[in-house]
Amino acid sequence: MKQELEALHRESLERRLRTHVSIPESPGYVMCGERVLLDLSSNDYLGLARHPAIIEAMRDALLKEGAGAGASRLVTGNRQPYAQLEKALATWQNCDAALVFANGYTANIGVISALVGRGDVVFSDQLNHASIVDGIILSRAEHARYRHNDIEHLRALLYKFRDKRRKLIVTDTVFSMDGDQAHLLDLIALKQEFNALLMVDEAHSGGVYGPRGEGLASALGVKNDVDIHMGTLSKSFGIYGAYVCGSETLIKWLMNKARPLIYSTALPPSLIAGAIQALKLVQTEHWRRKRLLAASEFFRSSLCKAGFNIGNGDSAIVPLMLGHNHKALQFSSALENEGIAAIAIRPPTVPEGTARIRFSLSAAHSLEELTDAITKICRLGLQLGVVE
Ligand SMILES: *Cc1c(COP(=O)(O)O)cnc(C)c1O
């Protein structure tokens, strides 16, 4: 272990934990050591993580329900707020039923391993989140990876595996490290043609897209063509947890078959009560989505004009491509010196040779704060030879 850790260190691939301290009076900032940093790395897209109504709902539930749920949901852990949240989620998504999981990671491994097994096949975009990859491995189904957003490659694989028992196509709707979108309309056409199921992971689009933040599938008007709709309560909702929405049968099946749900203690009821409140805000406070959208467009176009390579996404996730691991670390630490928290993302989270800074924007930030950040990023880009 020591030798391999030293090798990781030499290749600028070592990861370490650092302590960040939140600042109650300054949402959108964190402290690290002595420094106050503009937080351009968290996924609190709508700026809800410090919302007083959510905190109040959590505190009330904490006093009423206690600290922990005490048991799995199928034992005695299914406390009162769960039913209310799941009903509200199903109504929001306009589907039969919803099921809350402990987090996005276990939702994905739980759902995929419950739906497919030996003799089945999962078609998965090469850039899908690690939890999807782990779910496929755990399921023991055949793993057919298609090149990122390459619909013709997917078609060829669907044809190759057309005789498998069950076929599942799974995709992030907004890719977490690139910020671009899946081609949902094409995926739906293929799923229909080859009689496959379609699962979408809306971790980065839930709360952000759609008239009431339902997600990208709703925004594109194809919600009813998606069989399994998964999203998280940890990003736009500002709390923790995840949901899966779909048919009555799907949800019943998952209650009976999804092992992370069955064999793990229920989330504390206070989190669930907070999520109920967060869902109300997600649906009604449209100005947060508008503000996030404006911030994303402004930030992207400014970095693009300055000559940075920021890929071809159009979401609140903005990757600044640097290539070398060392360069990414260097850029990140220079940004930190300038008062900006922007974390370097390196392999294996992203493919070899594509290390980057991943900026994520939030409705918590003003355009003035972003303008200041952009000025600093541009200056460092010149200094470090990233742009000319
Ligand atoms: C963050 C993320 C997850 C995991 O969600 P957690 O609630 O943080 O466990 C799953 N899928 C995608 C695409 C994500 O970005």
Q: Is residue 73 included in any domain, yes or no?
A: yes
Are 252 and 374 in the same domain? no
Calculate what percentage of the chain has a pLDDT beyond 90: 98
**223: in domain:** yes
**Predicted confidence (pLDDT) per residue in 172-228, tens digit:** 999 999 999 999 999 999 999 999 999 999 999 999 999 999 999 999 999 999 999
What is the pTM assigned to this prediction?
0.97
Domain presence at residue 108: yes
Report the CATH number at residue 326: 3.90.1150.10
Among the options 129, 164, 191, 204, which is catalytic?
A: 204
Structural domains counted in the chain: 2
Q: Read off the pLDDT of residues 120-164 as tens digits, 9 standing for 90 and up.
A: 999 999 999 999 999 999 999 999 999 999 999 999 999 999 999
Same-domain check for residues 239 and 373: no
- Taking only Cα atoms into account, the Rg of the chain, rounded to an integer number of angstroms, comes to 21
Q: List the catalytic residue out of 129, 164, 167, 235.
A: 235
Q: Are residues 223 and 128 in the same domain?
A: yes
CB of 131 closer than 6 A to ligand 1?
Answer: yes
- pLDDT for the residue 129: 98
Residue at a domain's end among 284, 308, 336: 284
Residue 278 maps to a domain: yes
From atom 3 of ligand 1, which residue's Cα is the shortest distance away? 104
What number is the average pLDDT over the span 84-110? 98
CB of 104 closer than 6 angstroms to any ligand 1 atom: yes
Domain annotation covers residue 208? yes
- Are 250 and 345 part of one and the same domain? no
What is the domain extent for residue 270? 52-284
Please give the pLDDT value at position 73: 97
Mean pLDDT of 37-52: 97
Provide the pLDDT for residue 139.
Answer: 98
Q: Which of 260, 284, 308 is the last residue of a domain?
A: 284
- The pLDDT of residue 185: 98
Q: Are residues 279 and 307 in the same domain?
A: no
Residues 313 and 348 grouped into a single domain = yes
Tell me, yes or no, whether 265 and 290 share the same domain.
Answer: no
Band of pLDDT at residue 39, cut at 50, 70 and 90: very high
Same domain for 279 and 290, yes or no, is: no
Q: What is the pLDDT of residue 57?
A: 98
* Whether residue 264 lies in the annotated active site: no
CATH of the domain at 126: 3.40.640.10
Could you tell me the distance, in angstroms and rounded to a whole number, from the CA of residue 378 to the centre of ligand 1? 30
- Specify whether 258 is located in the same domain as 366: no
pLDDT of residue 103: 98
- Any domain includes 184: yes
Are 264 and 292 found together in one domain?
no
94 domain residue, yes or no: yes
Average pLDDT over residues 89-105: 98
| 366 band by pLDDT with thresholds 50, 70 and 90 | very high
Three-state helix/strand/coil letters over the chain: CHHHHHHHHHCCCCCCCCCCEECCCCCCEEEECCEEEEECCCCCCCCCCCCHHHHHHHHHHHHHHCCCCCCEHHHHHCCCHHHHHHHHHHHHHCCCEEEEECCHHHHHHHHHHHHCCCCCEEEEECCCCHHHHHHHHHHCCEEEEECCCCHHHHHHHHHHCCCCCCEEEEEECECCCCCCECCHHHHHHHHHHCCCEEEEECCCCCCCCCCCCCCHHHHCCCHHHCCEEEEECCCCCCCCCEEEEECHHHHHHHHHHCHHHHCCECCCHHHHHHHHHHHHHHHHCHHHHHHHHHHHHHHHHHHHHCCCCCCCCCCCEEEEEEECHHHHHHHHHHHHHCCEECCEECCCCCCCCCEEEEEECCCCCCHHHHHHHHHHHHHHHHHCCCCC
- Ligand 1 pocket check: which of 111, 131, 358 to mutate, most ligand atoms within 8 Å of Cβ? 131
Instruction: Render pLDDT for 265-277 as a digit per residue (tens, 0 to 9).
Output: 999 999 999 999 9
The pLDDT of 48-73, averaged and rounded, is 97
Same structural domain for residues 170 and 300? Answer: no
Q: What is the pLDDT of residues 78-90, one digit of tens each?
A: 999 999 999 999 9
Asked if residue 3 belongs to a domain, the reply is no
pLDDT at 134 (0 to 100)? 98
Would you call 167 a catalytic residue per the annotation?
Answer: no
The predicted pLDDT at position 141 comes to 98
Ligand 1 center from residue 127 Cα (angstroms): 13
Percent of the chain scoring above 70 in pLDDT: 100
Note whether 279 and 342 are same-domain residues.
Answer: no
Rounded to whole angstroms, what are the CA distances from 231 to 110, 174, 191, 340? 13, 11, 20, 28
pLDDT in tens, 287-306: 999 999 999 999 999 999 99
Whether 176 sits among the annotated catalytic residues: the reply is: yes
Single out the residue in 236, 263, 284 at which a domain terminates: 284
How does pLDDT run across 306-359, given as a tens digit for each residue? 999 999 999 999 999 999 999 999 999 999 999 999 999 999 999 999 999 999
